[in-house]
Amino acid sequence: MPDSPTRSEPRDDDATIGAIGEIAALRRILPRLESGASALLGPGDDAALVAASDGRFVVTTDLLVHGPDFRLAWSTPFELGWKAAATNLTDVAAMGARPTALVVAIAAPPSAPASLLEGIADGLREALRALAPGAGVVGGDLSASDVLTIAVTAFGDLEGRAPVRRSGARIGDVIAHAGARGDAARGLALLFAEATDAAGEPSATLAAELRARHPDLLRAQLAPSPPVAAGVVAALAGATSMLDVSDGLARDARRVAESSGVALDFSSSALGSDPETVRVALAGGEDHGFLATFPDDAAVPDPFEVIGRVVAGDGEVLLDGLDVGADGWDPYAGWDGRSG
């Protein structure tokens, strides 16, 4: 974001992004954001400058695209900003790093209200305050597009530690998980089942009614609050492998199993009290909790819960010793150009 908010602009709360232009839009957004404690130079120049205490930094990026990733009829701008932050913070934390900074690019239709950008900025700010205190937004970009798209790049500081990778799980390790399991999937299923109109289109009115009945499940899908701090906690406790569970526990566990050359065997009794709960825990995505492995003799830290054990194998994911496949979220599976 090359322009800093050095002067006020005449304000029209009903103005569109196209009507006010990029500079005025930036002057509305930037005062709503914070650069964070690691920013040595924030928005205002061609690039930001962020401290990296041990000479390294962790970096990741993610896209949220209207259609496959969210629906404006269901999500508020604030929720979009919150979710854009949360989904990237967990990727950084899953490496055992402390999140330090975000760079955010937004492409939006010129006909969209400027308040859309303000709401996204507010959501980004509040998610950072709640989930990663000290981290901030240090820059980004604005562009025009027919489809609202939010692209976030996140940075993290390992603070002298080795990164926790997917490839470190060892036979005999315990498998542990921190965060919700299946809540986001339940919320999404409710939205598709009860917040679409007769033509099958997302309905803001029906979504509002659904929020009143199932606030926690819809919040888990639209504005998740993953335990970001647990990533560093796991690293300090000696986690041998870890990743952010975004595509479903079974699918993401297979990534650990294949990278480590082992099998991950989950305990059904640890995942739920009935088969449907276990199924949703394994297949449901977007909770953004952490799946980690720890040495058998290690003290598994809070908020992690032991849910299985690493056994001999070649990339399999098991449930009570039986292969469960790798169901979960795939952005290209079944894509028809209209919906996720």
Q: Dihedral angle at the C-alpha atoms of 201, 207, 209, 214, nearest 10 degrees?
A: 130
Residue 16, strand partner residues:
113
Dist CA 122 CA 101 (whole Å): 16
286 marked among binding-site residues? yes
CB atoms inside a 10 Å sphere around CB 96 = 24
Q: According to the annotation, is 216 in a ligand binding site?
A: no
Is 6 annotated in some ligand binding site?
A: no
Query: Is position 90 annotated in a ligand binding site?
Result: no
Would you say 25 and 50 are in contact if contact means Cβ atoms under 8 Å apart?
Answer: no
141 is in an annotated binding site: yes
Helix (H) or strand (E) holding 21: helix 17-29
3-state secondary structure of 44: coil
Q: Three-class SS of residue 171?
A: coil
Question: Strand, helix or coil at 103?
Answer: strand
Q: Is 45 annotated as a binding residue?
A: no
Please check if 335 is assigned to a binding site.
Answer: no
Q: Was 54 annotated as part of a binding site?
A: no
Say how far apart CA 38 and CA 52 lie, in whole Å.
Answer: 8
Let me know the angle formed at the C-alpha of 41 by 40 and 43, rounded to the nearest 5 degrees. Answer: 145
Annotation-wise, does 87 bind a ligand? no
Q: Is 69 annotated as a binding residue?
A: yes
Is 56 annotated for ligand binding? no
Q: CA 110, 115, 119: angle at the middle one, nearest 5?
A: 120
Task: Give yes or no for a contact between 99 and 155, defined as CB atoms under 8 angstroms apart.
Answer: yes
248 is in an annotated binding site: no
DSSP state, residue 129: H
Crossing angle for the helix pair 215-222 and 204-213, to the nearest 10 degrees? 120
Is 91 within any annotated ligand binding site?
Answer: yes
Mode of pairing for the β-strands spanning 322-323 and 305-311: unpaired
Distance CA 245, CA 248 (A): 6
H/E stretch holding 60: strand 58-65
Is 244 flagged in the annotation as binding?
A: yes
CB atoms within 10 A of CB 305: 15
- For the annotated binding site for ATP, the residues are 140-141, 166, 246
- For the annotated binding site, the residues are 46, 60-62, 69, 91, 140-141, 166, 244, 246-247, 286, 329
- For the annotated binding site for Mg(2+), the residues are 46, 60-62, 91, 141, 244, 247
- For the annotated binding site for substrate, the residues are 69, 286, 329
